[in-house]
Amino acid sequence: MKNAKILFVVFLIFIFSFAATAFLSHDTEETWDILFTNGRVLDGTGNPCFYADVGIKDDKIVAVGRLQGKLAAEKVIDISGKIISPGFIDMHTHAYDRVEDGSTWVGEDTKRFCAPNFVSQGVTTLVSNMCGGGPIDIQKQRETLTENGIGLNVALFIGHNAVRRHVMTGDFRRPATTEEIIQMKKFVHKAMEEGAFGMSTGLEYVPSIWSTEDEVVALVEEITPYGGVYMAHERASGLTPMWYVPSQDEPGPPNMLGNIVELINVGKRTGATVMASHIKARGVDFWGGSRAIIRLIDEARAQGVDIWADCYPYNSSGSDGRTVLIPRWALGENFQQDLKKVLEDPEKAKDLYGDIEHNLNWRGEAKNIIVMDHPDKSLIGKSLDQIAIEQRVSDVEMVIKLQMEGYTKMPGGARLRGFSMSEIDIEAFSAKRWTATSSDASIALPGDGPVHARFYGTFPRKIRHYALERNVITLEDAVRASTSLPAQILGLRDRGMIREGFHADVVVFDPENIKDKATFFEPHQHAEGISYVLVNGVYVVDDGKLTWEKPGKVLANK
């Protein structure tokens, strides 16, 4: 009798446990938010894609596998024929650089915080304060972005140029003193304590033009204990920097190869992770230079230097396409009148012609410089050399004519865009597995005026043009360069892959239809083929449409 009672109690316990487990399991199933089914998974590692379902709960990926019939979800989305991958991580942007001292920079249009031109191409995390820019108060910037809400995740850097300008005030056309470097180190250290992921610099820009390698090393030493990344905008992207004017500046300016050597030295001397920002070989006389650059980087990596690069998939630089071929010294205050006076002076005219020749070469030659706007609308869309041939003048003379017959208050008289890089070099850089994808873009809204096509099309173009059409890289590696690779460089351990426990930053795209639509004449066009984009488990693109949600987070370096 006693044994029977014991068995009965055990039986009841078993039944209760089974019922409780079933109830809790059912309850768990009911709380799942999204289940993507029948898609191909590109997990971000570079491995081949595989068929699987992906389950999402709250802000995490909770399951990857054959899940239909095993899980219940509030929303089940059949993505047959499409690919699900990690959300793209843009390694180099100027999206939130202008959020300073509490200023939102957006005026009344708070939609800018949603970063629509980024999320519509699948970007879920971006890096900001590049090229040495941004505020020196990282904590204030974090607070401003958090208070306003943001459409995607942001990793902030501290800008060398901003710190140098603040410490040296207006007296920065020289190397910094020991005391000034000590003051700069304090700002960099403070930024790292406040969650910055590293330091960026713009060595081609004022005031970092006058910095030395020793100054850079001293500051990078402040980010190394935090695992920070040093992102370097080069001192020159070709044989000369953008600021170089042959008739005005001393010969022997910095060049791209010297810049890479300096970057490698910084990596060796500090042990830091270093990165060549928007790597390029610019100017006709430097086309093909990617071979030498790649050799330097490969050799450095073989020696243990932790060096990487990022690259955007376009052969034109310059955000707004305002290429000016006439040097500023020749334009004065009254462009046409002062230029005429220069032309009347034989010595000055000789210098002017030489400087324009230099700029033509650096901008890609006359045949690769396009008129985007001019009072004579018949010139728009034509190359500079085409117009010069039609008007029976030299390329240099045509540059001068554009100013003399063009807009009186616009330097150069016309808006020009130069295509100063070779596709051969872009393909060579893109093929290297140490190159991450970047846009070098800012946030844009229709009505903003001319912007670079990369503002809207970078990541779809990388997939469509360089992977699916040109076969420069595989589709798997195109996704890896935009996901797990940048996550690895930044030290993001829970983003950049489709993996259980990772944050639900995902993009679903149609490989047959994904493409960039933005052109240089009509840049404000969102990409096609992006079906869904989730940031921290929240739709920012739902069935191809922007939701204008702001689920992003300001990330902190851990």
Q: Is the per-residue pLDDT at 421 higher than 80?
A: yes
Q: Is 173 helix (H, G, I), strand (E, B) or coil?
A: coil
Please state whether beta strands 307-311 and 435-437 pair in parallel, antiparallel, or not at all (unpaired). Answer: parallel
pLDDT(402) > 80: yes
Report the distance separating Cα 293 and Cα 303, nearest Å: 16
Residue 517: pLDDT over 70: yes
In a domain, 37, yes or no: no
User: pLDDT tens across 345-398, in order?
Assistant: 999 999 999 999 999 999 999 999 999 999 999 999 999 999 999 999 999 999
Instruction: Say if residue 304 is in the same domain as residue 354.
Output: no
Please provide the average confidence, as pLDDT, over all residues in the chain: 93
3-state secondary structure of 238: coil
Q: How far is CA 192 from CA 93, 155, 195, 212, 450, in A?
A: 19, 12, 5, 22, 35
In sequence order, the 6+-apart residues with CB closer than 8 A to the CB of 149 are 113, 550, 552
Instruction: Categorize the per-residue pLDDT at 8 as very low, low, confident or very high, splitting at 50, 70 and 90.
Output: very low
Cα distance between the two ends of the chain: 63
What is the reported pLDDT for 428? 98
The rounded Cα 57 to chain-centroid distance in angstroms is: 29
Nearest alpha-carbon partner for 450 in 513, 529, 364, 380: 380
Domain identity same for 200 and 167? yes
Whether the Cβ atoms of residue 318 and residue 453 lie closer than 8 Å to each other: no
Pair (361, 494) in one structural domain: no
Whether 34 is in a domain gets the answer no
The answer to whether 78 and 508 have CB atoms below 8 angstroms apart is: no
389: amino acid identity, one letter: I
Please tell me whether residues 179 and 239 are part of one structural domain: yes
- By percentage, how much of the chain surpasses pLDDT 70? 92
Residues 6+ apart with CB under 8 A from 467: 473, 474, 475, 477, 478
Helices marked H in 391-453 — which ranges? Answer: 395-405, 423-430
Counted domains in the chain: 2
Average pLDDT over residues 437-447: 95
Domain limit, last residue, from 402, 418, 434: 418
Question: 237 and 121 in one domain?
Answer: yes
Where helices occur in 275-422 by DSSP H, the ranges are 290-302, 335-344, 346-362, 384-390, 395-405
Residue 197 in this model has a pLDDT that exceeds 90: yes
Q: Is residue 140 part of a domain?
A: yes
Say yes or no to pLDDT of 88 above 70: yes
Q: Are 545 and 528 in contact (CB under 8 A)?
A: no
Residue 546 — φ and ψ, nearest 5°? Answer: -65, 140
User: pLDDT at position 108, please?
Assistant: 56
CA angle, corner 149, sides to 148 and 151, nearest 5? 135
75-78 vs 34-41, strand pairing mode: parallel
Residue 5 lies in a domain: no
The answer to whether the peptide bond before residue 207 is cis (omega within 30 degrees of 0) is yes
User: Does residue 75 fall inside a structural domain?
Assistant: no
Say if residues 530 and 541 touch (Cβ distance below 8 Å): yes
Specify whether 388 is located in the same domain as 295: no
Instruction: Please give the C-alpha separations between residue 336 and each of 154, 281, 374, in angstroms, as whole numbers.
Output: 45, 33, 15
Asked which of 159-163, 228-232, 321-325, 384-388 is least confident by mean pLDDT, the reply is 321-325
Amino acid at 245: V
pLDDT of residue 4: 52
Residue 2 has pLDDT above 50, yes or no: no
Could you tell me if 271 and 394 lie in one domain?
no
DSSP state of 477: H
Instruction: Examine the fold and report which residue of 418, 446, 461 is the final residue of a domain before the chain moves on.
Output: 418
Q: What is the pLDDT of residue 435?
A: 98
Judgement on whether residues 404 and 515 belong to the same structural domain of the protein: no
Same domain, yes or no, for 94 and 127? yes
Clarify whether residues 409 and 494 are in a common domain. Answer: no
Burial tier of 367 (Cβ tally within 10 Å: 0-12, 13-18, 19+): middle
d(CA 9, CA 11): 5
The pLDDT value given to residue 106: 52
Angle between helices 395-405 and 346-362 (to 10 degrees): 100
Average pLDDT over residues 409-430: 97
* 228 shares its domain with 119: yes
End-of-domain residue from the set 369, 397, 418: 418
Side chain identity at residue 278, one-letter code: H
Residue 317 to residue 280: CA distance in whole angstroms: 10
Could you tell me the pLDDT band of residue 110, with boundaries at 50, 70 and 90? confident
d(CA 53, CA 84): 9
Cα–Cα nearest to 290, from 120, 474, 88, 431: 431
Residue 461 is assigned to a structural domain of this protein = yes
Mean pLDDT in residue range 254-280: 98
Task: Report the C-alpha gap between 290 and 19 in whole angstroms.
Answer: 66
Least confident of 82-86, 249-253, 294-298: 249-253
Cβ-contact 544, 513 below 8 angstroms = no
Number of residues that make up the chain: 558
336 - beta bridge partners? none
pLDDT at 558: 75
Query: Across residues 253-272, what is the average pLDDT?
Result: 97
Q: Is residue 510 part of a domain?
A: yes
Distance CA 320, CA 449 (A): 8
| Residue pLDDT, tens place only, 452-479 | 999 999 999 999 999 999 999 999 999 9
Query: What Å distances lie between residue 32 and 26, 27, 57, 89, 494, CA to CA?
Result: 10, 9, 5, 26, 20
pLDDT digits (tens, 9 = 90+) for 53-80: 999 999 999 999 998 777 688 999 999 9
Is-contact 134 104, C-beta < 8 A?
Answer: no
pLDDT in tens, 13-57: 444 444 444 433 434 445 689 999 999 999 999 999 999 999 999
Query: Do 439 and 303 sit in the same domain of this protein?
Result: yes
Q: Is residue 172 part of a domain?
A: yes
Q: Give the integer Cα–Cα distance in Å for 432 and 253.
A: 28
Q: Which domain holds residue 275?
A: 88-317+420-546
- Contact, 152 vs 540, CB < 8 A? yes
> How far apart (Å, rounded) are the C-alpha atoms in residues 357 and 245?
11
- Whether 318 has a pLDDT exceeding 50, the answer reads yes
What is the average per-residue pLDDT within 405-429? 97
CB count within 10 Å of CB 474 equals 13
**454 and 312 Cβ atoms separated by less than 8 Å:** yes
Picking from 553, 433, 415, the residue whose alpha carbon sits closest to that of residue 492 is 553
Number of other CB atoms surrounding residue 298 within 10 Å: 13
Give 89-105 pLDDT, tens digit per residue. 999 999 998 776 545 55
Beta-sheet strands, E only, within 97-169:
123-128, 153-156, 158-159
CATH number at residue 506: 3.20.20.140
